[in-house]
Amino acid sequence: MDKANKTKKIKEINANFKEQYKDVADKTVEELGLSKETAWDFYNKVLTLLDKLGCSDKREKPISRKVLDGMGIPEDVANQFLRLCEYHGGICDCKICMYAGEVLKDEPTE
């Protein structure tokens, strides 16, 4: 594949990715129905569990699911939130923590 074709291919992949996640792309957690405090609470809980259990590297994100469930977050909100995390690179539990800054922006100020 020559360079021009490669660039074209990358552009196509990026466009497909954006298209696939367009329901959540560029949304904030508040727009999905989660407060920033709740989102940070989620993040801290996931970090604690990751420390104990380690990441399964699974796209199903078992730790994140468990935490969201334990916090009583409705399933549709949880699904959207995890899609938003994926959009920002959070494809497994540890990557969610790695990219949390992009998803959650700033930590809430007291």
Which one, 57 or 76, has the nearer CB to Zn ion? 57
Quote the CA–CA distance of 84 and 86 in Å, as a whole number: 5
Establish if 39 lies at the interface with Zn ion (CB under 5 A): no
Point out which span in 13-21, 45-53, 86-94, 100-108 binds Zn ion (CB under 5 A).
Answer: 86-94
Shortest CB 78 distance to Zn ion, Å: 18
82, 91 in Cβ contact below 8 A? Answer: no
Of these, 68, 92, 100, 104, which contacts Zn ion (CB under 5 A)? 92
72: phi > 0 → left, psi -120 to 50 → alpha, else beta; which? Answer: left
Please report where in the chains the tokens 């405090």 appear, as a residue: 37
In sequence order, the 6+-apart residues with CB closer than 8 A to the CB of 16 are: none
Shorter beta-carbon distance to Zn ion: residue 36 or 99: 99
Report if residue 78 touches Zn ion, rule: CB under 5 A.
no
**Residue ranges in contact with Zn ion by CB under 5 A:** 55, 57, 92, 94
